[in-house]
């Protein structure tokens, strides 16, 4: 086979489309300098209605949202060595966001603006789908059999279908069938959520991914649980600390008072209760003597 030299193609910078891309990159990079945070949002499988709602709110708060062609966003990310590793994310539709809020605040914003959605065939549950006991607005008919087939314990009550016992439609990790999806839709149950997928946020110094930002969601509960457990351990060990000393002293005082009362030993703390007890005993003996 004859050798064929490698042919290298050069981009014609004078082409109109190339010029447009260059201008888009320059414009986006210029705008980036005006904001504290640049973030990347995945548009893959994100409903357009939800995206447009988020876009509007971000703009109202003074931010900007760019939906640009892949080559343009790639060039923007490549312009910063901290953002360059995320060029691979542009293989699927993404949006570039500029905001003066922190990456954490932006991630929280997306969490707060999610929307419930109905189940679809093939959806895999993230948690058990449980239908509580109670009445429904559904009239008797074929739907009764459909609900029973989906695993619900239902009956006709007062002319309406009622769930007579809490029923689990699907377990965690279960793939939903058409039968179960139809039952959930009939009951108006939307067990899933549409939420924007936050890829990363860059504050000019550090890159924060969603996995890092989500850690803060459980920190208060985790700290509270740890403090409670540490307190229980120190109390059970009778190990004094600045946090438990009052409880330990209170417990010690109660124990010493009980000991002195049970043994009849006098002390400044027990004398009043011992005298009261003695008076009651004397009164009882007097009554017994009068009855003889």
Domain spans, the chain: 16-114+195-217, 118-193, 223-290
**What whole-number distance in Å separates Cα of residue 54 and Cα of residue 65?**
9
Could you tell me the maximum CA-CA distance found in the chain, to the nearest angstrom?
135
Neighbours of 73 (CB within 10 A): 24
Task: Say how far apart CA 156 and CA 148 lie, in whole Å.
Answer: 12
- Third-level CATH fold of 118-193: Molybdopterin biosynthesis moea protein, domain 2 (3.90.105)
- Domain 16-114+195-217, what architecture? 2-Layer Sandwich (3.30)
Tokens standing for residue 231: 């307190």
Give the integer Cα–Cα distance in Å for 63 and 56.
9
Distance CA 108, CA 74 (A): 26
pLDDT in the model for residue 2: 38
- Asked whether 158 and 211 are in contact (CB, 8 A), the reply is no
pTM: 0.59
Q: How far apart are CA 154 and CA 148, in angstroms?
A: 7
Helix (H, G, I), strand (E, B) or coil at 283: helix
Q: What is the pLDDT of residue 291?
A: 58
Structure tokens at 157: 């009550």
* Rounded-to-integer distance, Cα 252 and Cα 98, Å: 60
pLDDT one digit per residue (tens) for the chain, 292 residues = 333 334 343 445 456 676 777 888 888 888 888 999 999 999 988 999 999 999 999 999 999 999 988 888 999 999 889 999 999 999 999 999 999 999 999 999 998 898 888 999 999 998 999 999 999 989 988 999 999 999 999 999 988 999 999 999 999 999 999 999 999 999 999 999 888 899 999 998 999 998 888 876 566 676 777 778 888 888 788 888 888 888 878 887 777 777 776 776 766 766 777 777 777 777 777 777 665 5
């Amino acid at each position: 086979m004859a050798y064929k030299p490698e042919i290298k193609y050069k981009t014609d910078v004078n082409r109109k489309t190339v010029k447009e891309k260059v201008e888009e990159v320059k414009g986006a990079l210029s705008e980036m300098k005006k904001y504290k945070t640049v973030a990347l949002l995945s548009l893959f499988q994100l409903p357009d209605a939800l995206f447009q709602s988020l876009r509007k709110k971000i703009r109202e708060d003074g931010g900007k949202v760019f939906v640009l062609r892949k080559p343009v966003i790639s060039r923007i990310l490549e312009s910063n060595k901290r953002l360059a590793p995320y060029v691979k994310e542009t293989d699927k539709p993404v949006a570039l966001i500029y905001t003066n809020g922190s990456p954490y605040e932006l991630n929280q914003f997306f969490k707060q603006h999610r929307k419930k959605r109905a189940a679809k065939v093939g959806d895999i549950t993230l948690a058990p789908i449980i239908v509580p006991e109670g009445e429904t607005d559904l009239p008797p008919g074929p739907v009764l059999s459909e609900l029973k087939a989906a695993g619900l314990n239902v009956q006709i009550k007062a002319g309406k279908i009622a769930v007579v016992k809490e029923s689990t439609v699907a377990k965690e990790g279960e793939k939903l069938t058409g039968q179960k999806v139809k039952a959930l839709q009939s009951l108006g149950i939307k067990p899933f959520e549409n939420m924007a997928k936050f890829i990363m946020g860059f504050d000019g110094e550090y890159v924060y991914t969603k996995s890092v930002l989500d850690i803060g969601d459980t920190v208060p509960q985790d700290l509270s649980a740890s403090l409670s457990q540490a307190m229980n351990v120190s109390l059970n060990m009778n190990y004094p600390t600045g946090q438990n000393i009052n409880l330990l002293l209170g417990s010690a005082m109660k124990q010493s008072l009980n000991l002195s009362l049970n043994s009849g030993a006098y002390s400044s703390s027990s004398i009043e209760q011992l005298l009261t007890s003695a008076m009651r005993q004397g009164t009882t003996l007097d009554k017994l003597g009068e009855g003889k």
